[in-house]
Amino acid sequence: MDHEEAAASLAELGNSHRLAVFRFLVKAGHRGAAVGEIQQALGIPASTLSHHLSRMAKVGLIRQEKHSRTIICIPEYQHLESLIGFLKEECCVGVSGGLDSK
């Protein structure tokens, strides 16, 4: 992951609604969750939720799959792992008390 990709992902997660949605999806696991399920659990209006999901999908945090009339949102764990790896590699190296010191 490069700086631009990391910045875009972190910018999307910097919104409290998108962060709540992403955390909900991560907890849902690899099966993901239907848009209606997310809306019901978090109380976000449908049009607002659609906007947030679209932005998260655009940067690769989630993917959306259509199953019949239902849209399932699935967290992209590989993207999350890459983002965490980027932060660990770039932000904590050589810092006293950082992740690389034991």
Centroid of chain to Cα 88: 17
pLDDT, one tens digit per residue, over 44-90 is: 999 999 999 999 999 999 999 999 999 999 999 999 999 999 988 86
- What is the extent of the structural domain holding 69? 3-89
Q: What is the pLDDT of residue 95?
A: 67
Looking at residue 92, what DSSP letter applies? S
Q: For residue 12, what is the domain's CATH number?
A: 1.10.10.10
Q: Is 33 helix (H, G, I), strand (E, B) or coil?
A: strand
pTM of the shown model: 0.86
Domain presence at residue 24: yes
Residue 66 φ then ψ, to 5°: -95, 125
Domain presence at residue 71: yes
Domain presence at residue 70: yes
Q: What is the pLDDT of residue 100?
A: 57
Instruction: For residue 65, give Cα distances in angstroms to 4, 43, 55, 71.
Output: 26, 22, 15, 6
pLDDT, one tens digit per residue, over 9-45 is: 999 999 999 999 999 999 999 999 999 999 999 999 9
Q: Is the pLDDT of residue 101 over 60?
A: no
Count up the domains in the chain and report the number. Answer: 1
